[in-house]
Structure 1
Amino acid sequence: MLVVMADAFDPRFGEAWSGAQLTGTMIQAGSWTRLAIDDDLVVGFTLCRRIVDETELLLVGVRRDWRGRGIGSILMATAATEATGFGARSMFLEMRDGNAAAAQLYHNQGFVEVGRRRDYYRGVDGQRFDAITFRRNLDVAS
């Protein structure tokens, strides 16, 4: 996952997590990850965390050379299906304002903007960016 993050996340924004951050999250109850693999090469991943009936999509990344092949969509759809299976009724995620490609992917997956944190992220050059919170309702069998 670290290799994918290094390739997928623009270093100007400092969005990639450290190995310690990944490990610390993955060992928490309710957390899970999925990998997209082609010929033993990890090309994408998701990291999610469920708390009661909500799931947060913490990270989604696809290697740059593998984008445009539907991998991000498949990973996100799989995360939503799994979250529903775990009893989640909604899924949240957060992104840096200005990441148009990510916003389009999220909208295509049924997410809508529900909040904004002003100046939440800071790029390595000190520039500030809003954090945009998205939500998607999940289909849960009654």
Structure 2
Amino acid sequence: MSAAPRPIELREGGVQDLPSVSRIMQAAFDPAYGEAWTQPQCMGMMALSGVWLLVASIGGRDCGFAMARAMLDEAELLLLATSPAVRGHGVGGALLRAVIAESRNRGATKLHLEVRAGNGAIRLYHREGFQKVGERRGYYRGTSGEALDALTLARSLA
């Protein structure tokens, strides 16, 4: 008999969580595309009005995070990452649903995000109601010189 899965715990994060966020981001994001932000970049973003950070943990260990911002009636998911060891265990979905709920609480009626074409997270975004609204050709440049498109997705929060 296997043990029951441990619950995913979500909490509001702060600058004290940036070392953990950085570790998760480095493990989760493909280094070939330079998608991971530095701690100073994250700290600078968190200093802006309307930005919030959510941290997910299982059994007391941080395993995912989401950073988002809301301005007037729109919100944007800036970053979302889960540790590779917990992919497929609902952490990303829990974080995304929490960002959707908090965006609504902050008065947003639409939530936007950008994702690299081919990123496996696109399936999660579609499951949660996001639709493609735009594309930036050749936006991501890999270390090998390969260029991949950025997809812009959005969903209504009404």
Q: Which has the larger radius of gyration?
A: 2
Q: TM-score, normalised by structure 1?
A: 0.95
CA-to-aligned-CA distance 1:8-29 (integer Å, 9 cap, x gap): 1111111100011100101100
The farther-off stretch of 108-117 and 33-42 is 33-42
Query: 2-side partners of 1:109 and 1:16: how far apart?
Result: 23
SS in 2 for 1:15: coil
SS in 2 for 1:98: coil
| Moved segments of 4+, more than 3 Å | none
Shift of 1:68: 0.6
From 24, 37, 58, give the equivalent of 2:57: 37
Shift of 1:39: 2.7
1:57 equivalenced with 2:62 (yes/no): no
1:114 equivalenced with 2:133 (yes/no): yes
| Residue aligning to 2:144 | 125
Query: 2-side partners of 1:53 and 1:61: how far apart?
Result: 25
| Residue aligning to 1:91 | 111
From 84, 91, 100, give the equivalent of 1:71: 91
Which blocks of at least 5 consecutive residues in structure 2 are unaligned?
Answer: 1-20
Whichever residue aligns with residue 133 of structure 2, its letter is V
Shift of 1:40: 2.6
CA-to-aligned-CA distance 1:16-64 (integer Å, 9 cap, x gap): 0001110010110000010001233110000001111100001000000
Q: TM-score, normalised by structure 2?
A: 0.85
User: How many residues are aligned here?
Assistant: 138
Query: 1-side partners of 2:48 and 2:145: how far apart?
Result: 32
Percent identity over the alignment?
Answer: 41
The alignment's C-alpha RMSD in Å is 0.8
